């Protein structure tokens, strides 16, 4: 069978009215080590953000906990006043007690403080996409959802998303608000959230995978190496390309603190996998992490 190139739609409409390029940018890595404090190279982080929009990327994902606060502050410093088509999604629901420490707090009083802080730091009157960073096991989910519902009714939030959630949790949230996006860990070699991806595709929700490479499946990585060499590309680029081919509702948010790496990630959107290559990655990656 001859290799047949595949195609994919390069854009997606979040919530039906925010059309973005599916290759976005995750702004976690522009902060300091351990996602704590300012970056080592402030000017390079500013250049990364400015290069992001120059490349045509118009979806940036961040959170109040990145730094904390630092990522949002850098975005405003580098890009405000924002391009008309730029969509900034941010998140709330985690505390920061030190480098690489992420306690959960999705209580309404904390989310209120986090949301108001994000609006101020980003210099926005309304967040286009506000995502709950984690469901808080210490309080009833309904309390968090009622806060999000109220904040949306007040006009502080346009659209609402969730992160690291099950189908049951998505459905529970839908009783209170419209959910337009889900951000779960997912990659070609880590399919733990496969059912959630399919649920999002079937229900017109964006699926935003984080940690898009690194499931640890050695067989999958061997296949990835072979296909990367064929395209003269990096493993990261092929893994990102596979995600774009995987489902039309997937939005990518690879992050970096270096312009060179940003440009390399962006090139993944121009890699056309053949049907055979796509299926080889699909099969190799699904042999583990399917539950």
| Dihedral, CA of residue 92, residue 93, residue 96 and residue 97, to nearest 10 | 160
pLDDT of residue 8: 83
Residue 80 has pLDDT above 80, yes or no: yes
d(CA 180, CA 159): 7
Determine the Cα–Cα distance for residues 161 and 179; give it in Å rounded to an integer: 5
Beta strands of 222-288 (E only): which ranges?
none
CA atoms within 13 A on the CB side of 100: 2
Give the position of tokens 């039309």. 248
Average pLDDT over residues 20-48: 97
Please check the confidence at residue 98 and state whether its pLDDT lies above 60: yes
Q: Report helix, strand or coil for 41.
A: coil
Average pLDDT estimate for 19-24: 97
pLDDT in tens, 232-256: 999 999 999 999 999 999 999 999 9
- The pLDDT value given to residue 163: 98
Residues tagged active-site = 66
Going along the chain, which residue ranges are E strands? 11-14, 18-21, 25-26, 59-61, 87-92, 127-132, 157-163, 179-183, 206-207
Phi-psi domain of 125 (left: phi exceeds 0; alpha: psi -120 through 50; beta: other): alpha
pLDDT band at 273 (very low <50, low <70, confident <90, very high): very high
pLDDT of residue 2: 38
Identify the three-state secondary structure at position 85. coil
DSSP conformation class of 13: E
Integer CA distances (angstroms), 85 to 76, 82, 172, in order = 15, 8, 31
Q: Phi and psi dihedrals of 263, rounded to 5?
A: -65, -40
| C-alpha to C-alpha distance for 11 and 91, rounded to whole angstroms | 22
The DSSP-derived string for 159-219 is: EEEEES--HHHHHHHHTTS-EEEEE-B-BTTB-TTHHHHHHHHHTT-EE--BS-S----HH
Q: Residue 133: name the closest of 161, 174, 97, 107 by CA.
A: 161
**pLDDT tier for residue 265 given thresholds of 50, 70 and 90:** very high
pLDDT tens digits, residue range 208-236? Answer: 999 876 655 667 888 999 999 999 999 99
Domains by residue range for the chain, with CATH: 11-218+249-259 (3.20.20.100)
pTM metric for this prediction:
0.94
CB-based contact 200:206 (threshold 8 Å): yes
């Amino acid at each position: 069978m001859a290799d047949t190139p595949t195609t994919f739609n390069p854009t997606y409409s979040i919530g039906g009215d925010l059309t973005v390029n599916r290759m976005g940018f995750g702004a976690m890595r522009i902060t300091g080590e351990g996602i704590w404090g300012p970056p080592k190279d402030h000017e390079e982080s500013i250049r990364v953000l400015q290069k992001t929009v120059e490349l045509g990327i118009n979806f940036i994902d961040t959170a109040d906990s990145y730094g904390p606060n630092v990522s949002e502050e850098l975005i405003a410093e580098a890009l405000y006043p924002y391009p008309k088509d730029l969509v900034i999604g941010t998140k709330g629901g985690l505390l920061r007690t030190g480098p690489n420490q992420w306690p959960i707090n999705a209580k309404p009083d904390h989310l209120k403080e986090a949301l108001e802080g994000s609006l101020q730091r980003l210099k926005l009157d309304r967040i286009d996409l506000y995502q709950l960073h984690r469901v808080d096991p210490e309080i009833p989910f309904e309390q968090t959802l009622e806060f999000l519902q109220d904040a949306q009714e007040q006009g502080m939030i346009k659209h609402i998303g969730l992160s690291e959630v099950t189908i049951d949790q998505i459905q529970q949230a839908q009783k209170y608000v419209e959910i337009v996006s889900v951000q779960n860990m997912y990659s070609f070699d880590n399919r733990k959230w496969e059912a959630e991806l399919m649920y999002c595709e079937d229900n017109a929700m964006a699926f935003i995978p984080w940690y898009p490479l690194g499931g640890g499946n050695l067989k999958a990585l061997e296949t990835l190496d072979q296909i990367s060499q064929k395209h003269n590309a990096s493993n990261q680029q092929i893994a990102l390309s596979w995600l774009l081919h995987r489902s039309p509702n997937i939005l990518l948010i690879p992050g970096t603190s270096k312009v060179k790496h940003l440009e390399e990630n962006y090139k993944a959107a121009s890699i056309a996998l053949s049907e055979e290559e796509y299926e080889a990655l699909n099969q190799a990656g699904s042999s583990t992490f399917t539950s």
